[in-house]
Every structure is written in C-alpha cells, then in structure tokens.
Amino acid sequence: MDIDNLLAKLPDYYTVVDRDLITRAYKFAEKAHQGQKRLSGEPYITHCIAVAEILIDLQVPPEMVAAALLHDTVEDTEVTLDDLENKFSPEIAKLVDGVTKLTNLPQVSRADQVAIGGSKKKSASQKANEGEEDKEQDLAIDRSRHRDLATETLRKMLLAMGDDVRVVVIKLADRLHNMRTLSHMPEKKRISIAKETMDIFAPLANRLGIWQLKWELEDLSLRYLKPDAYKDIAQKLSDRRKDREAEIARIVNDLDVLMKKGKIEAEITGRPKHIYSIYRKMTDKGQPFEMVRDLRGVRLIVPDIPSCYAALGLIHTNWRPIPNEFDDYIAA
C-alpha cells in the first residue's frame, strides 16, 4: 500500500488538516528511512504504512496514525524527539517516545526486521543483548518461569505506557505487522518472537478489548509455535468455510428477529472461531477437531444486565442449552 491508498482509507470525518498532518508525517518518515530495507527486501517505509493502516481500521484519531508513520524514526534513524516536536507537535513526539520506550523494555524482542541501509541507531536493548542473538535458545524452558517473566514484562509495559493507552495500541499494531511478515526472520528468532507475542502482546490486546488484534496475534503465534496443528485446523476450517459463514448469517438474522420481537435493543455480530481458540479447546478438553462444538461464534451486546437476562431467556426458549456446556458469565 502506498500513501495515496492510505489516504483513501481515512475515515470521512478526518478533516483537511488531519489529512495534511498524515501526509506530512509520511513524507518525513519516508525521508528519514531512506535507504533502509526490511528483511523481505521492501523499503522500510512499507512497514510504517502497514502499521498506520492497521490503526485506521481501528478508527483511531489522526494523531495516532501520524505517530504510527513516525514510530521508528527516533529508534532507527538520526531523527530526535525535538525534531518531531518542532515539525509536528509535543503530543506526537510523546506518542513516538512512548512506543520507543516499550520497544526498549528488557526481554521485549526487536521484531522490526531492518536489514540494510540507512542511518540506523543501535537501541539500548540491542546493546544490552549484543552477542546473545546467536546463542542456542532452550525451547523447553520451564513454563512457570516463562510465565513469571511474561507477567513481569507485561507489568513493565503497562507501567511504561503511563496514562496514555494510545502508545500500547500503536505498539500492538507494530507487532501485528511484524508477525504478518515473520517468515523473513531466522527460525529461532521466529519462535522466540511468536512465544513473546502469545504470552505478552495478545493478552495486552485482550485487556484493551481489541479483539481483532488479539485473535490475529494468537493465530499468527500458533502458526510458528505449532505449525502442524495450525495447518491441520486451518485446512479443516477451509473445507466448509462457506457453509459455516451461511450458518452464522442465518443465526444472526434469527437472533435479530427474536430480539426485535422481545423489544430488546441489541447489536449482533457473528464470526467463525479463530484457529487458536479451536486449538485451545482441543488441547484443554483432549478432543479431536470433529468433537469441538463451537466452531462458530455469535456476539450479542445489550445495554444493561436486565437486558442480558431477558435476551438469554428468549434464546433459551428457542435453542436448548447443551448440558455441561453453558457458562453464566453474566452473574460472574
């Protein structure tokens, strides 16, 4: 995607001033990253555009899109925070600074895939870990120890973001694009980054309620951590994808009619369950794919708790609950 396509994706409510800000941010980042390439061989600016596109799909404010385009300029070029503050605003400089600090937290991998060219600074984390990249990684590390490390890193990330959650959202978009292009990294690095993404970044997306990022981060992580299981589930889902999509559409329509009859205001959406969710059900319950009951998911959002129970009552009058499969998350 180039800048023209990116601008075409901007929401209609973005003003002329907003669009000008994003255009200026793009031109500034393109010049700063001149000569730098990704491991894929693509110009580095393509990564910045991709991160901005992910955020546009989340309908974020224009300052976040601009910061996404600029997010690696301080880390990977000779640009300073003062430069960003003078060229743009203190707010955008602060966002970029926050993303840089998250990138440099101990135990958080650089997944930016800078290959060659340009004037690239060495980050604090790179200096600290210099010489460690090629050491053999023990993939059989004790799970409790790894969980403790993930929790500690997550805590540090949350502390580092301070009172501005926008920084973490930009970092999540950055990690998502790096996961989408992870195949260009060496195998040991791919596995390390995938484990970190599963243990730290996907839970962050979950905590922030950004489900589309959470689901994709989990699926992409599983793709590298358990490639055979991922391919097997993906193939089985693909075999009957159209049937499942048609069934979901029918259920959503039936629920919509039912809620309107009951005079319950509800927002209803449906989706196929993502691969990692199915994998978890298979492993947690020791079931084969064919035994997993909920390959489809429907979300029904109502304004308050009484409406939750009213909607649940209507649903149970039309669909019988499966024994031992119903969980009451309303009371919980």
What topology does CATH give the domain 239-318? Beta Polymerase; domain 2 (3.30.460)
| Distances in whole angstroms, Cα of residue 197 to Cα of each of 11, 48, 57, 75, 89 | 29, 19, 21, 20, 31
pLDDT tens, 53-99? Answer: 999 999 999 999 999 999 999 999 999 999 999 999 999 999 999 99
Task: Select the more confidently predicted residue: 161 or 9.
Answer: 9
Active-site residue, from 63, 72, 75, 174: 75
pLDDT tens, 6-60? Answer: 999 999 999 999 999 999 999 999 999 999 999 989 999 999 999 999 999 999 9
Q: Confirm if 270 and 313 have CB atoms less than 8 A apart.
A: no
Q: Quote the CA–CA distance of 26 and 126 in Å, as a whole number.
A: 26
Q: Quote the CA–CA distance of 67 and 181 in Å, as a whole number.
A: 21
The chain-wide mean pLDDT, for the chain, equals 85
Question: HSE on the CB side for 167, CA within 13 Å?
Answer: 21
Q: Quote the CA–CA distance of 11 and 61 in Å, as a whole number.
A: 10
Q: List, by residue range, all CATH 3.30.460.10 domains of the chain.
A: 239-318
Q: Is the pLDDT of residue 116 over 60?
A: no
Q: List, by residue range, all CATH 1.10.3210.10 domains of the chain.
A: 3-122+142-225
Is residue 75 annotated as part of the catalytic site, yes or no?
Answer: yes
Active-site residue, from 72, 76, 196, 218: 76
Task: Write the CATH number of the domain with boundaries 3-122+142-225.
Answer: 1.10.3210.10
The pLDDT score that the predictor gives to residue 110 is: 64
Q: How many CB atoms lie within 10 A of CB 331?
A: 8
Q: Is the pLDDT of residue 144 over 70?
A: no
Is residue 290 annotated as part of the catalytic site, yes or no?
Answer: no
The pLDDT score that the predictor gives to residue 239 is: 76
Strand partners, 114: 38
3 state SS of 199: helix
